[in-house]
Amino acid sequence: MKEYKELEAKNKKYKNYKTKHEFLSKFQKTDRLHPIVTICIYYGEDSLKLE
């Protein structure tokens, strides 16, 4: 969300909108967000039971 808010603020400040869709979303077609991958590893003593 931090990255999105920074892009949104930049676009709003400089009014970099080419279409009405970009204006409504506050996000340009060329803007890109970096994906985040979270991995959770369980290494406890109890067995993990999936139901």
Tell me which residue of 22, 21, 40, 44 sits closest to 31, measured CA to CA: 22
Which residues, other chains included, contact 3 with Cβ-Cβ below 8 Å and sequence gap of 6+?
Answer: 33, 34
* Model pTM above 0.75: no
Tokens of 24: 């409504």
Given a contact cutoff of 8 angstroms between Cβ atoms, the answer to whether 28 and 18 are in contact is yes
Which pLDDT tens digit goes with each residue over 12-35? Answer: 888 878 888 888 888 888 888 889
Q: Where are the domains of the chain?
A: 1-41
Tell me the pLDDT band of 49, cut-offs 50, 70 and 90: low
pLDDT of residue 47: 66
CA 39 to chain CA centroid, nearest Å: 17
